[in-house]
Amino acid sequence: MAERQTKIDVKKLFRESPKTPVKLDVQDLKNFVYDMSRCIKCKGCTWVDHTYMPGAQFRTKCPTATRYLFDSYGAYGKMRIGLALAEGKLRWTDKLLEIVYADPLCGACDTGCKRNLDLEIELTLEALRVKAVQDGVGPLPAHKKIVQNIEKNHNSFGSPHENRTKWLAAAKVTPAKKADLLYFVGCSASYTNPEIAQSTARILKVAGTDFMLMPDEWCCGNIVYSVGMVKEARALAQRNIGEVKKTGAKTVLLSCAEGYRMWKVDYPKLLNCATADLGFKVVHLVEYADELIKQGKLKPTKPMPLRVAYHDSCSLSRLSEPWTPWEGERGWMGMVEPRLKRRRGSNGVYTQPRDILQAIPGVSLVEMPRLRENAFCCGAGRGTKEAFPDLARSSAQHRLEEVKYVGAEALVSACPWCKNNFAQAIKEDGNALTAYDISEVIAASLGV
């Protein structure tokens, strides 16, 4: 006799269960008590997805846990620390502060955790830093210096503000006074990596795309937000968005992955609006150039005989999915309503840079074992290199081992922070590798 199956009415169980309100607002660590308390220390946030596990050498995807080994540095340790802080059971110490900030917030843990559990790990880590600032202990002195630089000179390096457009002289490109596309250059390409700004401008010129610059560009505030200074970051977001609106630009283009994430994800997060409601589109150069190549408007015909590995910059890949404000309630089995589309990192910008590289004659693209959501961060971003240069260096060295493992001659990324960090590690270690930004490779293949 066939056994009768009992049907579970999930909707009814949810309806009848006690509910608690849920907010994804990083301004209150208590909003993430559920997430922190549900961490089971499985370490899915540390290991590369088992299906793709390339062997023991490249088994981890968390730069912090790989460098420091102690559990407190991994997401699982920080969830315990955050919970104890939120419940008033732990007081800040210098060591605790170091643990919270020694972390590039690269999102590997968040996407790893969401393979099994829908816990908001990245938002919790951001909220932990906001709490450090709210409690008067954060950020670290190196971060405070950056914030002072921005306040004084509108750039994170403390360089004279009037030098911001110096890169233009050698670019031999004249931006339009008014155009639909605004190129937001960012601090790095303006001051430390003019080759990226120059290559980007030349690519746009070859494509016949008129572009303008912001009449008075200031820092995007990426590090300010990343270290937990939400009030100051929001002021920069409001100022920069206001400036774009004054120009009437329909698209803001970035060549920096960190800036791209800031404009596309963190500005809307800070202003409690959706990416789609910003009033203009935010695109990275690789999205724009890929489309132009596919339309035949850009023809990369100059051969570049080079075996390259592509590095997925975290802020262009797993951290770049658009933001949509959400509030709801949690009931039976942790289910939430209304439906929450989780940001799992799978819809980052992964295909476009690879398609670009494969469209360049002579370029041989080889994939590293850790790619896409599983990529190993360069370790430089979000205030890490300034406060923890040893962590930034060890992460870059570890990644470069992977480049050598696949036999590539060059490492290509789409962010000045990655290029700089890799280039420095290559120089210090005397490696025979070269680090390029993808804008340089595209420009070279166009012959400009």
Residues at the contact surface with ligand SF4, assessed by CB under 6 A: 39-45, 75-76, 79, 109, 112-113, 117, 119, 121
- DSSP letters along 242-283, please? HHHHHHT-SEEEES-HHHHHIIIIIHHHHHT--GGGSSSEEE
406 backbone dihedrals φ, ψ, rounded to 5°: -90, 5
Per-residue tokens: 413: 């990324």
Q: Which of 287, 313, 315, 318 is nearest to 418 (CA)?
A: 313
Minimum distance of ligand SF4 from residue 328's CB (angstroms): 21
Residue 14 amino acid letter? F
Residue 81 amino acid letter? I
Residue with tokens 């004279």: 160
- Give dist(CA 412, CA 415) in Å, integer: 9
Of the pair 83, 130, the CB lying nearest ligand SF4 is at 83
Minimum distance of ligand SF4 from residue 207's CB (angstroms): 43
Minimum distance of ligand SF4 from residue 296's CB (angstroms): 45
- Give dist(CA 82, CA 92) in Å, integer: 11
Of the pair 79, 293, the CB lying nearest ligand SF4 is at 79
Of the pair 46, 445, the CB lying nearest ligand SF4 is at 46
Of the pair 114, 382, the CB lying nearest ligand SF4 is at 114
Minimum distance of ligand SF4 from residue 104's CB (angstroms): 16
Torsion angle of alpha carbons 167, 173, 179, 184, nearest 10°?
-20
Minimum distance of ligand SF4 from residue 80's CB (angstroms): 9
Of the pair 121, 182, the CB lying nearest ligand SF4 is at 121
Of the pair 111, 420, the CB lying nearest ligand SF4 is at 111
Report the phi/psi class of residue 427: left, alpha or beta, with left for phi > 0 and alpha for psi in -120 to 50: alpha
Minimum distance of ligand SF4 from residue 350's CB (angstroms): 22
Minimum distance of ligand SF4 from residue 50's CB (angstroms): 12
Straight-line distance from the first to the last Cα atom of the chain, in angstroms, rounded to the nearest whole number: 78
Minimum distance of ligand SF4 from residue 123's CB (angstroms): 12
Of the pair 111, 352, the CB lying nearest ligand SF4 is at 111
- Give dist(CA 207, CA 262) in Å, integer: 26
Of the pair 82, 416, the CB lying nearest ligand SF4 is at 82
Helical (H) or strand (E) element with 112 = helix 108-113
Minimum distance of ligand SF4 from residue 113's CB (angstroms): 3
Of the pair 113, 283, the CB lying nearest ligand SF4 is at 113
Three-state DSSP at 434 gives strand
Three-state DSSP at 303 gives coil
Burial class (CB in 10 A: 0-12, 13-18, 19+), 332: middle
